[in-house]
Structure 1
Amino acid sequence: MTAVESRPQMLVEEFECIALAAEHEDVRLEFVHGRLGVKAAPDGNHSEAVRWLTEQRQRPGWWLYPTCGLRVETHRQGRARPDGVLAPEGSFAGQGEWVNADQAVMVVEVTSYDSDTDRRDRDEKPRAYAETGIPVYLLVDRDSCEVLVHSEPEDGQYVSLVRRPFGKPAVLPDPVGITLETEAFKAWVR
């Protein structure tokens, strides 16, 4: 990688101004590893998958916050908007649009059918979430019809990755500590 390629496209403060101006559009902006990313508005099946996840059994007092803006990466210079953030109730009160990820125990992404899903959800975001120290990253991959459970963040990467096809239970390790039945996801793929 050359010095030019590793330089951020813009400062995080510049990104936040652009993201604020674009908040009423049909896209959500993210800034991960110094690159501006555009997340397309979710389709109905994507929204149903996220809704279903919010209803799953969790520990009392925990909540899956949808589309919460997180400060991510080693020096918190990234800004990601995962489809869900599992954290204790009240964790983000008073923090504004971009919250600290210190209380997040899991982030959830559901793939969209857009051109940069592969790079963003399968490469950039796992690294950013692991650098941040978020214990579990759950990727509901509607392209491959499987869930990917990333865990054990260490040195900027998740050292454990478990793949489970839709229809097979997926164990979400501690601190989440539940088994997720994945049959429902079959209804929300193309």
Structure 2
Amino acid sequence: MAHEPMTTQADVLLETFLALEIPDGIRAELIEGEIVVSPAPEGNHERNISRLIRQVLRHSAVDMDVSGHKGLSLPKMGPLPRDHVIPDVTFAPVEKDIFRDAPSWMPSDGVAMVAEVTSSRAERDRTQKRRSYARAQIPLYLLLDRELETVTLHSEPGMNDYRTVLSVVYGKALFLPEPFGFELETADLM
């Protein structure tokens, strides 16, 4: 007699998350076992994203595809379900064409960098999302921290965190390594 696999708490949590009906403009994520619902971002948040994208598209060593608010399904932590996060910006080399026919929650294969601009829950961007991106082996995580007035680049992902962290205050340039290969000007992000 075949046994049905047991439904775990992680399975139930993931099914509940994926079944949520979220109104337009609201974002829902599943991060380290917690369902997080956030309102639409305010103007200065989006202004920072726009300024970042503009610089990346103008100055990157390779042509980049950009997606704002693309769902990523990332490796799980222990017994928890896979993380389902929505970075503010996801960058990938055009040649990889990772967004073509991608499902709503796509894997992170081919992503060169994700970026977050802090909002009302800055600590989540600083810790849980950072760890999630590292577990997924996303090469670069850029955090524009409006509260601390810093821009921080996390690189060299490990098992549960990034090994290298470089932070500058707003107004100082920050070098983005290959495939970007340029100095990000941060004065415009104030």
TM-score category of the 2 structures, normalised to the smaller one: 0.7 to 0.9
- What does residue 53 of structure 1 align with? 52
Is the 1:108–1:139 contact (alpha carbons within 8 Å) kept by the matching residues of 2? Answer: yes
Matched, 1:92 2:94: no
RMSD: 1.8
Structure 1: segments with no counterpart, 5+ residues: 1-6
- What does residue 6 of structure 2 align with? none
Is the 2:122–2:145 contact (alpha carbons within 8 Å) kept by the matching residues of 1? Answer: no
1:11 partner SS: helix
Is the 1:85–1:104 contact (alpha carbons within 8 Å) kept by the matching residues of 2? Answer: yes
The structure having more radius of gyration, on CA atoms, is 2
In the TM superposition, 1:172-183 aligns within 5 A as: 172-183=176-187
2:146 pairs, out of 129, 142, 146, with 142
TM-score by length of 1: 0.84
2:127 partner SS: helix
- Name the CA distance, whole Å, in 2 between partners of 1:165 and 1:157: 22
- What does residue 22 of structure 1 align with? 22
Identical aligned pairs, as a percentage?
A: 33
TM-score by length of 2: 0.84
In the TM superposition, 1:7-156 aligns within 5 A as: 8=10, 10-18=12-20, 21-24=21-24, 26-56=25-55, 57-74=59-76, 77-89=82-94, 90-112=97-119, 114=120, 116-118=121-123, 120-156=124-160
- Name the CA distance, whole Å, in 2 between partners of 1:27 and 1:108: 19
Is the 2:30–2:36 contact (alpha carbons within 8 Å) kept by the matching residues of 1? Answer: yes
- Name the CA distance, whole Å, in 1 between partners of 2:139 and 2:76: 14
Opposite residue 62 of structure 1, the aligned amino acid is: M
Opposite residue 140 of structure 1, the aligned amino acid is: L
Is the 2:152–2:165 contact (alpha carbons within 8 Å) kept by the matching residues of 1? Answer: yes
Deviation at 1:8, TM superposition (A): 4.3
Opposite residue 22 of structure 2, the aligned amino acid is: A
Kindly tell me the number of residue pairs found equivalent between the two proteins: 174
Deviation at 1:10, TM superposition (A): 4.2
Quick check: 172-181 or 35-44, which moved more? 172-181
Deviation at 1:40, TM superposition (A): 2.5
Is the 2:61–2:179 contact (alpha carbons within 8 Å) kept by the matching residues of 1? Answer: no
Is the 2:170–2:187 contact (alpha carbons within 8 Å) kept by the matching residues of 1? Answer: yes
